[in-house]
Amino acid sequence: MKKVFFVLLLGAFSLWGDAADAIGGNNDFYGRAAFIDLETLPLVVDGEVENPGPVDLEALPRHMVTVRHADWHHQGRGFAGAYRFEGVSLFDILRDRLVKKTAGEVFPPPVDLFMEIHDNAGEVVVVSWGEVFYSRTPHRVLVATRVSPIVPTKVKSVSAMPSRSLLVCGDDLYAVRNLTAPRRITVRSAKVNIPIRRGMAYVSSESIRLNILGEDAAILRDPLRFPAKRSQPSVFFGRGRGFHGFQDFQGWDLGAVLAKYINIEPDILARGYLVVTAADGYRVVFAASEVFNRNDGNAFMLLDGGLCENKGPWALFPGPDFFSDRAISGINAIRIEKLE
């Protein structure tokens, strides 16, 4: 995976500084260094959209994310530095690109979509539609066009900075999806060969078949083999029907459950995605990074109960999402794929 490599230059520091936190004359610890512009190359959108074509980055709003950039690659892990990135979010880039699905039986909701983000060197990473449009904190995935280092007050030197535009995923723990000079965003829908059964009186499943990279890996049915349960209260709210009630979901971190069966490594986090399907044909997609590589403590929770009265086990609650649309009940299969 081609990445931007930063060099962290550490200066001498003392345990106690002389009013170091007052540098700059205000309480803004982020904005003490000026932004620099990054070389930005033309960008296009294609795939399953009605209106493919070039993106006018200059015409779109700017957003900012602050990140602690940690690399993880086959040579090991390392800290690169802390940065403010400013740029155009995928939310705004794709906001007016209406979806036009082309694969097989049309499944109307956009919860099964993901994006392949390409550069000119043949590298590609995956971002799910849901982490762009359903997130509780929109505009966290962006094409950065400016950067500024976040300078520690007791370190005399700062980290080196990139020179070209960069795909930045603000909720990633390791920056495995930071792609230099993104040139193309291709919208895809997951290929799912199961019938759609609308209006089932009760949607449930006794077990979950786990398939990893084309190989059957496990049958999930025994909660005693899972890690400890966790609790997550929620004001459950859907994009269509609105408020679904106050809930206190009890379940397991999906990433922790699946980590027993898959070797989590940088390529999976960068190019992998999960397709979760249910007995009634509902299906949702998650990028591998948003399940296994989070920096915000949120989790997609696997439940052995249902989400509401007519939806039974197994179920999934999308903790990082604002909307409930990627919640799914009656889960019968989880497939983990990776782009080549």
- The number of beta carbons lying within 10 Å of the beta carbon of residue 295 is 14
CA distance 166 to 92: 16
Whether the pLDDT of residue 20 is over 70: the answer is: no
Q: 71 or 23, which is more confident?
A: 71
- Mean pLDDT of the 129-140 span: 94
Sign of the C-alpha dihedral, residues 98, 126, 316, 205?
Answer: positive
Q: Give the burial class of 277: count Cβ atoms within 10 A of its Cβ; 0-12 exposed, 13-18 middle, 19 or more buried.
A: buried
Residue 327 Cα distances to 47, 247, 276, angstroms: 25, 13, 10
pLDDT at 247: 75
Q: Comparing C-alpha atoms, which of 89, 125, 175 is closest to residue 287?
A: 125
Whether the pLDDT of residue 215 is over 90: the answer is: yes
Band of residue 12 on the pLDDT scale cut at 50, 70, 90: very low
Q: Comparing C-alpha atoms, which of 305, 240, 316 is closest to residue 276?
A: 316
Is residue 275 within 8 Å of residue 208, measured between CB atoms?
no
CA distance 167 to 256: 27
What is the value of pTM for the model shown? 0.88
Whether the pLDDT of residue 259 is over 90: the answer is: yes
CA distance 235 to 220: 28
Structure token pair of residue 211: 């398939």
Look at residue 335 and give its three-state secondary structure.
Answer: strand
Mean pLDDT of the chain: 87
What's the Rg (C-alpha) of the chain? 21
Give domain limits for the chain.
30-189, 208-338
| DSSP codes, 307-328 | SBTTB-SSEEEETTBSSSTT-E
Structure token pair of residue 252: 């397991």
User: Do 208-338 and 30-189 have the same topology in CATH?
Assistant: yes
pLDDT at 312: 78
Tell me yes or no: is domain 30-189 CATH 2.40.50.100: no
Whether the pLDDT of residue 141 is over 60: the answer is: yes
Q: 76 or 6, which is more confident?
A: 76
Task: Specify the fold of 208-338.
Answer: Sulfite Oxidase; Chain A, domain 2 (3.90.420)
Look at residue 93 and give its three-state secondary structure.
Answer: helix
- The number of beta carbons lying within 10 Å of the beta carbon of residue 101 is 17
Q: Give the burial class of 59: count Cβ atoms within 10 A of its Cβ; 0-12 exposed, 13-18 middle, 19 or more buried.
A: exposed
Is residue 285 within 8 Å of residue 112, measured between CB atoms?
yes
Whether the pLDDT of residue 10 is over 70: the answer is: no
Whether the pLDDT of residue 23 is over 70: the answer is: no
**pLDDT 10s digits, 289-332:** 999 999 998 999 999 987 766 577 999 999 999 888 999 999 99
pLDDT at 241: 67
Band of residue 218 on the pLDDT scale cut at 50, 70, 90: very high
